[in-house]
Amino acid sequence: MADARRGRLKIYMGYAAGVGKTYQMLVDAQDLKARGVDVVVGYFEPHSRQDTIAKLDGLEVVPRKKIEYRGSVFEEMDTDAILARQPECCAVDEFPHTNVPGSPHAKRWEDVQVLLDAGIDVLTTMNIQHLESLNDQVWHITGIRVRETIPDPVVQQADEVVMIDLTPRALLHRLARGVIYSREKAEQARNNFFRESTLVALRELALRETAHEVVHRGAADGIAQPVEATGSIPGALVHHKLLVLVTPDPTSAMVIRRAKRIGDFLDAECFAVAVQPSGDLAGLPQPEREAVAQHLNFARNLHIETRILEGSDVAAALVDFARRNQITQIFLARPKEHHWSLPLFSRDLVQRIVNIARDMQIVVVAEREPFQSQ
């Protein structure tokens, strides 16, 4: 009998279009391919975003299925073709999507369930506003009723939920530059989800919800979680602990600031750590040593506890510290192309941390892009 292993589900969660969910999904798909994993793209929605489209290069894309409905032809993910292809992993964009009538399944998340049942790992993307239990809350925040929703248990079954974070102001800068939508559609977006106050509220909702989801998944897996509660009262307070990986790269300061802001919002403890084989900074070249020391001092000035961990395996040392200290969220900077050759700041490192810290939320922080007037 064929292997009955159920596939693993990894969700890239955001709070709005354009934060980088699909981009990160394709980066990880490229990494899997480079490591010899048989990976295909089952569905990809480019939205004319050239930097994201570029990440598709070299990946096998399963052709879409054409379905006629009311005199028009629509394209949907071809689940049967993916099953026939039987890859190890499949990237599927837009998890909450509603399929055109006449499709085998009403929702794309139902197609994903079929792939998982067949033992295929799935990478997929969604925004927090599509979670069914938050529908009324999102309507209250935005004034818009989200029609495409996913039942909470479908999301709760995920093996990994990675939040892709970007500040609302940086997101608005991307919108203004035409990176997210065309100029015409961008103007419409500014009057809907892309009001700054709305983005701030949605981002806070996403941070809170994904942090709670990590705690609930850990409890279901028998992992001890530091929860303060009285009896079984719903909405018990979770004691969050945040961890920042400090490297010589200048983006460490940005990640420290982001973690501090979120820590204040969640009333959470926060740690900033560097990892070195010697357990101190003496082995680093002087420029890198000074940079790490400056970042750690910056964290201390923000009343963040700092440590220098001993270990040659950065990911293992970081996650070991996180588990021993009951960390609920780990903050990492999103690697940039020209930094991928640096072992402390590589996409491989980020992926390894995500792979071994499955009981924690990983927040991948994108560097803020400068506004460019047109």
Residues 322-349: tens digit of each pLDDT:
999 999 999 998 776 544 334 444 567 8
64-89 pLDDT, tens digit per residue, is 999 999 999 999 999 999 999 999 99
Q: Could you read off the pLDDT of 268-318 as tens digits, one per residue?
A: 899 999 999 998 998 899 999 999 999 999 999 888 999 999 999 999 999
* C-alpha separations of 293 from 240, 289, 332, 336 in Å: 26, 6, 18, 22
pLDDT confidence of residue 40: 98
The H or E element that residue 39 is part of is strand 39-43
CB-CB contact of 329 with 240 (8 Å) = yes
Spatial CA neighbour of 61 closest among 82, 42, 48: 42
Which of 22-26, 122-126, 133-137, 211-215 bottoms out in mean pLDDT, i.e. has the lowest?
211-215
H or E element, residue 361: strand 361-365
Q: pTM for the whole thing?
A: 0.64
d(CA 41, CA 56): 8
Of 76-90, 146-160, 161-175, 236-250, highest mean pLDDT: 76-90
The span from the CA of 351 to the CA of 44, in Å, is 21
Tell me phi and psi for residue 276, to 5 degrees. -140, 145
Separation of alpha carbons 357 and 355, rounded Å: 6
- The pLDDT, as a whole number, for residue 181 is 83
pLDDT at 369: 45
Element (DSSP H or E) covering residue 12 = strand 9-14
Amino acid present at 296 = L
CA 188 to chain centre: 26
Domains identified in the chain and CATH numbers: 9-167 (3.40.50.300), 238-365 (3.40.50.620)
